[in-house]
């Protein structure tokens, strides 16, 4: 690949001032007002629009985003009631050729009501169907799907009162991996979608134990399907696995609440990461799993860069522990906007004030960063900023009014360095990589009504993507 052509961005707003920015190769070369165009330089008139460092999504699942695009949406907003769920399954069944697997995503009991294999069998008779819960941590399989996979019982296969499988399956992703998708997943479409959102780099936090999953991402970067810089985690089994084209992120440790590991096992995983020279990112969404995660990190010794993912339930005593261990929290503001009603209905009333804390984490001095967790949260960071400001559920209730942020602080939570989430926002200045996001309007206007519609151009390593 040849290097990007020389570029002059004229009349852009950088940290509140109108200026010009010259890009040479993959880096910002000059930031000063009144720069003259050199021969052969492409010139873009920014018309006073803000030029920001490109956004970083600190926690996403790229392959799952691609797979979700090839799946039937079975949760809000596409499905808001049990009837809509049944009709959506029936329509997808009618439209698909015989024998083809259907994959549904986003299932949410609050919208669809409980789902089991019998319900899938009624609306997609004889068809292999797999439906992923909105959390990503549970599947419901139709009877044909259970038969094809040979999942008649055992670990993670829920049994009903009759002793037969209900179709609900936990923690058996290895059995489900590699099943066919119609149409096949398209990582190039994910890369393009991220560019339209101003996202120039991402951290894939999938806890996979399959080398092929990580290698797929490396290949997508090397082939240019994903123009972004990509950091990949993988689970402890792959702590030493290195992939050309991507950077290693923290080792991902998942604490599944239906099957919490013992403290010794978790400590062992932390040691595995350490032995490979890596930090850890521990998934926790409940008080119990947060306590376990913090106990393990306290016992093994936390190092800078160790992370808590989600931190959905952090009462003040746990927050103080997070702060004293020097941990970073990477969380997802869109969860409140997408599923806040379910949280408010399910969580003990005493715990409601501790749901998805952000402002109090910042006040406690905890480095706190934002991410999408897409496809389980919304890929759009601008929606994340709106949700961090409003914290309003779909029905209009506010989750923890005291945790609302101003839009500028919310934006900054996407601007830390990839290896320092929640650290100081990157800046547009000479010498930095030209990973940039040009808006159509000044920052103040964009923050008054945050929206991806203001993203005009995205530059990754000096290469321009967008309408111009």
Q: What CA dihedral angle connects 429, 435, 235 and 411, to 10 degrees?
A: 70
The minimum distance between CB 405 and Zn ion, in angstroms, equals 21
Segment contacting Zn ion by CB under 5 A, of 114-122, 183-191, 314-322, 373-381 = 373-381
One of 204, 213, 306, 373 touching Zn ion (CB under 5 A): 373
Residues numbered 420 to 459 that lie near Zn ion (CB under 5 A) are none
The minimum distance between CB 59 and Zn ion, in angstroms, equals 6
The minimum distance between CB 254 and Zn ion, in angstroms, equals 9
The minimum distance between CB 205 and Zn ion, in angstroms, equals 5
How many residues interact with Zn ion (rule CB under 5 A)?
A: 1
Segment contacting Zn ion by CB under 5 A, of 7-15, 223-231, 299-307, 370-378 = 370-378
Residues numbered 66 to 105 that lie near Zn ion (CB under 5 A) are none
Segment contacting Zn ion by CB under 5 A, of 194-202, 368-376, 431-439, 457-465 = 368-376
Which among 244, 189, 252, 185 has a CA at the least distance from the CA of 215? 244
User: Which of 309/435 has CB closer to Zn ion?
Assistant: 309
d(CA 385, CA 381) in angstroms, rounded, equals: 6
Within 8 A by CB and 6+ apart from 449, the residues are none
DSSP annotation of 231 reads E
The minimum distance between CB 206 and Zn ion, in angstroms, equals 7
User: Which of 20/373 has CB closer to Zn ion?
Assistant: 373
Residue nearest Zn ion by beta-carbon distance:
373
Segment contacting Zn ion by CB under 5 A, of 159-167, 338-346, 369-377, 456-464 = 369-377
Question: Dihedrals φ, ψ of 238, to 5°?
Answer: -110, 20
Q: What CA dihedral angle connects 238, 244, 245 and 247, to 10 degrees?
A: 40
d(CA 111, CA 158) in angstroms, rounded, equals: 22
User: Which of 65/437 has CB closer to Zn ion?
Assistant: 65
- How far, in Å, are 96, 98, 132, 303, 335 from residue 90 at the CA level? 10, 13, 17, 51, 28
The minimum distance between CB 207 and Zn ion, in angstroms, equals 8
The minimum distance between CB 373 and Zn ion, in angstroms, equals 4
Cβ atoms 375, 323 nearer than 8 A: no
The minimum distance between CB 298 and Zn ion, in angstroms, equals 24
d(CA 442, CA 192) in angstroms, rounded, equals: 24
User: Which of 62/129 has CB closer to Zn ion?
Assistant: 62
Q: How many CA atoms lie within 13 A of 382 on its CB side?
A: 20
With 0-12 CB in 10 A as exposed, 13-18 as middle and 19+ as buried, what is 380? buried
With 0-12 CB in 10 A as exposed, 13-18 as middle and 19+ as buried, what is 268? middle
The minimum distance between CB 61 and Zn ion, in angstroms, equals 6
Cβ atoms 370, 408 nearer than 8 A: no
User: Which of 341/373 has CB closer to Zn ion?
Assistant: 373
User: Which of 144/332 has CB closer to Zn ion?
Assistant: 332
Tell me: does residue 57 bind Zn ion (CB under 5 A). no
User: Which of 144/206 has CB closer to Zn ion?
Assistant: 206
Segment contacting Zn ion by CB under 5 A, of 98-106, 122-130, 229-237, 365-373 = 365-373
Question: Dihedrals φ, ψ of 95, to 5°?
Answer: -85, -20
Residues numbered 214 to 253 that lie near Zn ion (CB under 5 A) are none
User: Which of 57/373 has CB closer to Zn ion?
Assistant: 373
d(CA 372, CA 149) in angstroms, rounded, equals: 31
What is the contact surface with Zn ion in residues (CB under 5 A)? 373
């Amino acid at each position: 690949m040849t290097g990007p052509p020389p570029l002059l961005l004229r009349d852009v707003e950088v940290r509140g001032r109108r200026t010009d920015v010259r890009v040479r190769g993959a880096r910002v070369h000059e930031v000063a007002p009144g720069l003259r165009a050199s021969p052969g330089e492409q010139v873009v008139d920014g018309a006073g629009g803000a030029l920001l460092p490109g956004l970083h999504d600190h926690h996403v699942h790229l392959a799952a985003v691609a797979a979700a695009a090839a799946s039937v949406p079975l949760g809000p907003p596409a499905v808001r009631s049990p009837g809509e769920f049944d009709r959506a399954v029936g329509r997808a069944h009618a439209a698909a050729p015989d024998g083809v697997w259907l994959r549904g995503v986003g299932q949410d009991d609050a919208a669809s009501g409980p789902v089991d294999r019998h319900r899938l069998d009624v609306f997609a008779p004889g068809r292999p169907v797999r439906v992923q819960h909105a959390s990503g941590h549970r599947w419901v399989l139709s009877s044909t799907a259970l038969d094809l996979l040979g999942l008649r019982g055992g670990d993670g296969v829920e049994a009903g009162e009759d002793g037969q499988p209900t179709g609900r399956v936990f923690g058996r992703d290895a059995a489900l991996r590699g099943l066919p998708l119609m149409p096949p997943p398209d990582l190039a479409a994910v890369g393009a979608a991220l560019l339209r959102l101003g996202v120039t780099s991402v951290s894939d936090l999938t806890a996979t134990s399959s080398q092929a999953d990580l290698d797929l991402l490396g290949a997508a970067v090397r082939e240019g399907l994903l123009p972004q810089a990509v950091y990949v985690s993988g689970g402890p089994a792959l702590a030493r696995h290195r992939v050309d084209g991507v950077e290693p992120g923290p080792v991902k440790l998942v604490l599944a609440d239906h099957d919490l590991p013992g403290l010794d096992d978790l400590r062992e995983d932390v040691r595995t990461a350490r032995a490979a020279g890596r930090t850890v990112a521990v998934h926790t969404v409940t008080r119990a799993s947060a306590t376990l995660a913090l106990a393990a990190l306290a016992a093994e010794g936390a190092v800078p860069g160790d992370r808590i993912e989600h931190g959905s339930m952090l009462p003040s005593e746990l927050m103080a522990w997070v702060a004293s261990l020097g941990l970073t929290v990477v969380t997802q503001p869109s969860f409140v906007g997408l599923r806040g009603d379910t949280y408010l209905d399910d969580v003990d009333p005493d715990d409601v004030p501790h749901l998805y804390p952000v402002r109090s984490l910042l006040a406690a001095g905890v480095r706190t960063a934002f991410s999408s967790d897409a496809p389980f949260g919304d890929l759009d960071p601008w929606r994340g900023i709106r949700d961090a400001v409003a914290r309003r559920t779909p029905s209009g209730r506010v989750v923890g009014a005291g945790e609302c942020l101003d839009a500028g602080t919310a934006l900054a939570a996407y601007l830390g360095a990839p290896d320092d989430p929640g650290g100081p926002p990157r800046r547009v200045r000479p010498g930095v990589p030209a990973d940039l996001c040009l808006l159509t309007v000044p920052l103040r206007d964009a923050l008054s009504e945050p929206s991806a519609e203001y993203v005009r151009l995205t530059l990754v390593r000096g290469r321009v993507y967008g309408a111009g």
